[in-house]
């Protein structure tokens, strides 16, 4: 109850889009409900699903050598 912020330590090369979105939505819901800021710390990698979860934070902190971003892979077949 006395927390000043929530810290997310992220080191993830990806993950499924649906599950990442569910985590994203829950983080935002709790942050707004509790009126508390969320800060994401990306260690080595925050890609795809890991990056999506980090985007739920109010601030993202990374090292200049961290790999961060959306891979954006889309696959299709008949």
User: What number of residues does the chain have?
Assistant: 78
Residue 45 tokens, joined: 């990698």
Q: Please name the residues in contact with 24: beta carbons below 8 A apart, sequence gap of 6 or more.
A: 52, 53, 55, 56
Return the DSSP state at 60. Answer: E
Q: Given the residues 20, 48, 66, 70, select the one marked as catalytic.
A: 48
Catalytic (active site) residue 48: yes
Which residues are marked as active site? Answer: 48
């Amino acid at each position: 109850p006395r927390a000043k912020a929530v810290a997310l330590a992220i080191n993830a090369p990806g993950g499924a889009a649906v599950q990442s979105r569910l985590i994203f939505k829950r983080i935002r819901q709790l942050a707004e409900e509790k009126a508390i800021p969320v800060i994401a710390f990306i260690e080595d990698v925050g890609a795809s699903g890991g990056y999506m979860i980090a985007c739920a934070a109010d601030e993202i902190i990374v090292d200049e050598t961290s790999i961060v971003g959306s891979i954006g892979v889309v696959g299709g077949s008949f």
